[in-house]
Amino acid sequence: MGRGKIEIKKIENTTNRQVTFSKRRAGLFKKARELSILCAADVAVIVFNSTGRLFDFASSSMKRILERYRSACGGHDWNNEHEQMLCQFRNLRKENEDLHREIRYVMGEDADSLSPKQLDYLEGNLEIAAKKVRERKTEVLKYERRKTESKVNGLEQKCILLKQWLATAENLEEYDQTPPPTFRVQPSQPNLQSAGY
Amino acid sequence: MGRGKIEIKKIENTTNRQVTFSKRRAGLFKKARELSILCAADVAVIVFNSTGRLFDFASSSMKRILERYRSACGGHDWNNEHEQMLCQFRNLRKENEDLHREIRYVMGEDADSLSPKQLDYLEGNLEIAAKKVRERKTEVLKYERRKTESKVNGLEQKCILLKQWLATAENLEEYDQTPPPTFRVQPSQPNLQSAGY
DNA sequence: CACGCTATGTATAAACT
DNA sequence: TAGTTTATACATAGCGT
């Protein structure tokens, strides 16, 4: 339809492409409009040209047509999804506030607003908690003591060995040939000095 | 473009409308396709016929075109908004978990995993809390006692008045003409019996 | 680049099958 | 109701301004 038939493939000449785009876009929108009127159809056309500019046509409200499209075919119903998430969000936030309050409560910072009964209950809970903590502390301290003791024992053993070696060495006067018994403290870092830096 | 010119207005004959719809829809989609190819454009066409059936054409991915449309013009960028909300949601949930943990912590329920230092700190906090609670309890109890005392005082006063009245009444022997001094306990419920039920 | 023109190819209304 | 045909209206490629 024009002076000559054209092949349907990308028009490489930019100016030509722009012109054709304008003409055909107008034609497309006109056809869309006619279809919507003649056949009582709801029509939406969205076009981005090669430079990314947007052109659109809608026989009624674009928003409504797109909503309808979304609910009709596949895609997410974002509005609904958004609502649901907002709901969950609010719940979570409320739970959060409650937790903050509870922490204030158990730390006795809201004591002024509590009834005697609640105060008793809270006091009981705090005592239970403190007892747990004390018990655990005792346990930990005991464990630490045991660890220290065994360390001391180990060191004592090493001292004894060292003394024995010294005695032997003095007797034989062979300091440089009998190595001391091996024991060492585990280095917490690689020994850089002996690595040649 | 046909045997006769037609006016652009709704085709009332249903069959005719259907036929025209099919033909023109095909034509519209063809034009859309040609435009997209010739001019390297991104084209989407959405059509609902008069019975609500959906037909669509997209030169690339309909989803992508609609996203692009949404971000280019007006409406929400739901994807982005969704991402952001999801992010906030995750933060809130994390905070929530932390709060749960903290409650367990201050109630001494995680004592087993704490260092001696932490245990000391926690013990100190629990003592502070317990002290607050005890102080408040003391205050409340004192207040209650004062309230009870004043109530007792009030009752004693009333007793004295009553005795005085009795003494007077006996002296004058006019029980039925001198009313007793007015005082009453506030009823916590309306007195149903005297209301005639 | 934004028009207007016009020869020509297309789309399609109506008729037919 | 669906495909085919055909006469016609319409859209538009190439060109000029």
Report mean pLDDT in 10-residue bins for chain A, 197 residues.
87 90 93 94 95 93 92 75 88 95 90 88 91 90 91 92 88 61 51 41
| Cα-based angle B62, B68, B70 (whole degrees, multiple of 5) | 105
B44 falls within a domain: yes
How many domains is chain A partitioned into structurally?
Answer: 3
CA distances from B182 to B149, B153, B174 (A): 22, 17, 17
Quote the pLDDT of residue B89. 92
Quote the pLDDT of residue A190. 43
**Residue A43 belongs to a domain with what CATH number?**
3.40.1810.10
The answer to whether B3 CB sits below 7 Å from nucleic acid chain D is yes
- The whole domain housing A108 covers 76-113
Q: Is A21 on the interface with B (CB under 8 A)?
A: yes
B3 falls within a domain: no
Of B70, B82, B67, which is closest to residue A85 (Cα–Cα)?
A: B82
A134–B141: do the CB atoms touch at under 8 Å?
no
CB neighbours of residue A99 within 10 Å: 18
| Cα-based angle B70, B76, B77 (whole degrees, multiple of 5) | 65
CA–CA separation, B53 and B72 (whole Å): 28
H helix or E strand, kind and range, residue A150: helix A116-172
A181 falls within a domain: no
CA–CA separation, B155 and B160 (whole Å): 9
Q: Is B27 on the interface with A (CB under 8 A)?
A: yes
The answer to whether A35 CB sits below 7 Å from nucleic acid chain D is no
Q: SS3 helix, strand, coil % of chain A, rounded to 5?
A: 65, 5, 30
Q: Which of B39, B107, B111 sits opposite A106 (nearest CB)?
A: B107
A85 falls within a domain: yes
Q: Which parts of chain B sit beneath pLDDT 50?
A: 187-197
Among A25, A59, A75, which residue terminates a domain? A75
B82 falls within a domain: yes
CA–CA separation, B140 and B129 (whole Å): 16
Q: Which of residues 104-133 of A touch B (CB under 8 A)?
A: 106-109, 111-112, 114, 116, 119-120, 122-123, 125-133
H helix or E strand, kind and range, residue A13: none
> Which is it for strands A54-58 and B42-48: parallel, antiparallel or unpaired?
unpaired
Q: For residues B11 and B17, is the Cβ–Cβ distance under 8 A?
A: yes
Question: Coil, strand or helix: which one is A44?
Answer: strand
Round to a whole number and report the distance in Å from the CA of A24 to the C1' of C17: 35
Among B54, B75, B96, which residue terminates a domain? B75
B64 falls within a domain: yes
A156 falls within a domain: yes
A176 falls within a domain: no
